[in-house]
Structure 1
Amino acid sequence: MSKMQAAKAHMEVLRMAEEEPITVKTYKEIQDAALGSVRDLSSGLQDRLRSSLKYRMVSQSQAAPAEKAYYLWHQAGGTSAQPSFDAASTRAVLYNQAAAARQLEAFLQVSRVTIFELCQTAIRTFEAHEMAAFYMTIRGLVERIANVAALADALQDFSHATPSPDKPNEPLLLAAGKIGKALYGTKFDWGKLRNADLRAAKKDDVAYVRKELSMDVAARSVLTSIDKLDKRVRGARIAYEVLCEFLHPNVGDLYSATACATSHSDRLGTRHVTRELGLGPKDFSTSFDLVAIMSQVLSICCEVFRLLPSVLAELDANSRKAEEMAKSFAHIVRSNYKPLFRKDDLCPCLSGLTVRKCR
C-alpha cells in the first residue's frame, strides 16, 4: 500500500468515526466483546489441541531426483525406458504421494496452535493494561485468520472435485502446491541461512529462489490474504492497517502509552493539552477520535474472529477428503509394489500405521 493509499484509508476511518460517534461506554462494551470473542476462540481451539499431532513425511532430498526423473519421463510421453532408482528412493517417491494430505493436516494443527497462543497473549496483555502489545497481538490474529481463510478459498476446486477411478489422488496432487505454500511459505532459503554469516551476508544471498521442477514455497504478501478477507468481512483491510500503526513505531505507540489526556484553557483562552504517558490502565475517555476509530476496528475484528470456526470446518472437511484420497491411492500403490512394502513397514499413506494395520 502506498503512503497516499494509507492516508486515504485513515481518512476513511476518521470520516466514518465522525458520522457514527461512539461513546466511551460503548467503546468499553465493544472492547469487552472483542476480549470475549478472543476467549471463545481460545476455549474452542484448546479443545482441539488436547493431543499433539505427529506430522509424518519422508526425506524430500531423497525423493526429489526420482520424482523429477519420473515427471520428465511422463512429459516425454513415457516412450523411452522408465527411470530406475534404488528401492529407498523409489519408496520415498511413493510415500511422497500422500504428502499433501499430511501437510493440510499439519497446517490446521499449526494454525490452531499459533492462533491459540496469540489468543492467550491477547488476554494476558489486555489484563496487564499493555495496550501496544494487545493491539499488536490482535493484528497477528487477523493475519493468521486471513491466511486460513485464503487457503479455504484456494481449495474450493478440490472440495468439489470427484476423483476418477484410474487417478484417485489427482485432485490432491493438483491442490498440493497451494497447501504446501500455505504451510511452508517463506522469503528465505533456510539451508543457506543455516550456513550464512548473517553479519556479512546480503539479503539476496539467502533469499528463497524456486528450483526447477520443485514446489513453489515463496511467501505471498499477507495483504493478498487480507484483501480476500475484506470480501468476507467488510472493513477488514482498513482495520488491519490501523492495527499496523500499533505494530510499527508509528503514532500507535503514543496512543497506547497514554494513560490519560487532559486539557484546560488558560486566562486568555489558550487551550493546553497534556498527555500522561506511562504504565497502567489507559483512560480513553477524553480521546474521542481514538475511541471512535478503535471501536470500529475492534467490532470488525470480532467479526473476523467469529469467522474462524466455519473456515476451520471447511478445511477440516477438505483434510478428511485428502486423507481418504491419499489412503485409497496408497493402498493401490502397496499392492502394485509388493516387493517394496512388507506388512510391518509403514503404510505409504503416511498415517504412521503399518501395512498390516492400515485399512
Structure 2
Amino acid sequence: MDPLGVLLCGAFTVLVLLLVGSCLLRANRLDRLHVRTDAARAALFAALERRAVVARAAAVLLDDQTLLATAARTETVPATEREAAENDLGKLLGDLPARSLPEPLRAELTDAEQRVMLARRVHNDAVRDTLALRSRRLVRWLRLAGTAPVPGYFEIAEVDAPADGPAEPPPRSRRAGRVVLLDSARRVLLFEGVDPARPGEPFWFTPGGGALPGEDGRAAAGRELAEETGLRVPLDRLVGPVWRRHAVFSFDGGNLAADEEFFLLAADLDRVDTSGFTDLERGTVLGHRWWTAEELRGTGAVVYPRELGDLLGSLDPAAWDGVTRIVC
C-alpha cells in the first residue's frame, strides 16, 4: 500500500475509534441519566404517597370525607390521571384552615408539601437533562437509548401548605381554543415554547390560546390561529371540538386550571407568520416546525397533548364522528 493509502487508512481508523468512543461515552451517560430519572421519579412518588398519608390523617381528624376520598384516589388512579388527582389533593390541602389542625400535624403537612415540591423539581431537572441528550442526532440515529422509555415531566401546580387560610390563590381558570393544523402531507404544526419560570424545560404545543371575554372555544381558536400563523379561515371550517383537555399547571409563577378545546383544520401554509405574537409569546416561543405522526411517536421532546403522535392517525377533517374525546 502506498504511503497515502496508509495515511488515509490510519485516519479512517482513528475516526472510527473516535466515533465508537463517543458513542460509548454517550450511551454510558444516557444510562446514568435514565437511572437518575428513575430514582427521582421513585422519590417523587414516595413524597406524594407520604403527603397522601398525612392528608388522610387530617381528613379523619376534621371528618372531611371529600379530602379523605381525594387522598385515597391519588394512590389508585391510572398513571395518565395521576397528575390531575394530585392537583385535586393539593388544592384541598391548600384550602384547609391552618388553625383547625394540631401543631404537630400542621408541621408534618408543611414538611410533606415542601418535600413534594422539591422532589418534583429534582425529577423534572433529571427529565430535562435526559431528554436533552436523547434529542441529539447521534443518539437518535444510532438508537443509543435502546428500549428505555422516554421520560416525561410531572406537571402539577405548586401549592404551599396552609397558613391562616388559603396559602395561595386557587388556580386561575383559563378557557382556551386550539387548532390541530394539518397540511396535505398530514403533518401537524407545533410551536416550541418555555415557561418563563423554567426556561430550561421546553415543550411543543399546537397553535391557540386563551379565550377573550365573550368568546367560545371556536372563536378563540380561530382568532389565535390568525394571530400566531397569519392563517385566517371562516370559523365553520374548524372541525370539532375533536378533543378536550383539562390540566392544572404552573406558568410564569402562577397556577392555571386550563380547559382546552381542540379543533381540526386541514390547510397548506406556505409561511408561518408570527408577527401577531404578543410580547409574552415573543419571549417564550422558541420556534415552530411541522411534525409527522411517526416523528412525534419517536421524539424525546415534550409534546402536548402527550399522545398527539398516536391521535393523529385517527383524525380526518372530512369524517369526524362528532365525538369530543378527552386527552391529556
Shorter-chain TM-score bucket reads: under 0.3
Query: TM-score, normalization: structure 2?
Result: 0.24
Structure scoring higher RCO (CA < 8 A, sep ≥ 6) equals 1
Higher Cα Rg, which structure: 1
Query: TM-score, normalization: structure 1?
Result: 0.22
